[in-house]
Amino acid sequence: MQTLTLALAGALLVLNGAAAAETIYVSNEQDNTVSVIDAHRLAAVATIPVGGRPRGIAFSAHSGLLYVAVGDDNRIDVVDTKTRKVIGSIPSGEDPELFALHPDGKRLFVSNENDNLVSSVDLEKNSVLGTVQVGVEPEGIAVSPDGRLVANTSETTSMLHLIDAASLELLDNVLVDTRPREAKFTPDGKAIWVSSELRGTVTVLAREDRRILRRIRFAVPGLRREQIQAVGIVITRDGKTAYVALGPANRVAEVDANSFDVRRYYLVGQRVWHMALSSDEKRLYTANGNTSDVSVIDLDRQEVVKSIPVGRSPWGVAVAP
């Protein structure tokens, strides 16, 4: 009886935090939909039809709108989270994959995979301000916390491109590990983390001089090195912890962001791609493409507490209050 009581108390703790009031949005690449998950019930409660092949997804606290990159339709759909309907679209260039919102909430930077460009979009005017030629197959994209710098990765060129956010001048090209996927600034803006899918590594570079601070490698007992493919990266607001999705390894690595040591691995669904933290950073939500579900990791308890079925090939995750 005592064991049952403790288990029930633990379950209530999972549901009683600030995260329980949130809504989770998941882009389903093969279904052309976005799944809506109630964070209190930890269940999918609605499905929103969007354009073809949705991947990148983000919620804007400035506008209260959800943005979804729909690559097959060469645009970004705009979703009203109250009505759960697409209310408009944004021009983006060919085959948008990932995008990043500027801290001022007025601009959006898009990786256009097919034409090797990064587009800068004015959200108020709903128009492309300009483009920057980058390497082949651009994907990962991030804006520095101070809003001055854009970081973009090109998969085939294996480079990190640094762009002036205001002038759109290409400032630097830095060679990184093979097939880089995600780029992420640390909260203090002093470093950039870049994941490598084929090498299964994360390269951490200093923002100012681009020197490599550390190359983080991952090793999961029982798995071959080629099964470990680093993709999505999430860093906590205090800059102390990072989470790295390891693709077909079906693991998320928890990394000490100061020492760069791997603390632990979480076993999640198959082909984990992108992730999002709850607002209180007590949960991590992962999109698992091959099992078509979302894993919920309780970070205090250091365990996966739920698997939530969604649409086919979930790709990106966004969290909104």
Residue range 15-49, pLDDT digits in tens? 545 677 899 999 999 999 999 999 999 999 999 99
User: How sure is the predictor about 93, in pLDDT bands with cuts at 50, 70 and 90?
Assistant: confident
Q: Could you please report the per-residue DSSP string of 124-176? A: TTTEEEEEEE-SSSEEEEEE-TTSSEEEEEETTTTEEEEEETTT--EEEEEE-
The DSSP 8-state label assigned to residue 297 in this structure reads E
Cα-flanking dihedrals φ and ψ of residue 19, to 5°?
-60, -25
| Sequence-ordered alpha helix ranges (H) in the chain | 2-16
The DSSP 8-state label assigned to residue 210 in this structure reads -
- Whether this prediction's pTM lies above 0.85 is answered by yes
- CA-to-CA dists, residue 269 to 143, 222, 247, 266, 295, angstroms: 29, 17, 9, 10, 7
Predicted confidence at residue 17, as pLDDT, reads 59
Cα-flanking dihedrals φ and ψ of residue 6, to 5°?
-65, -40
Amino acid at 86: V
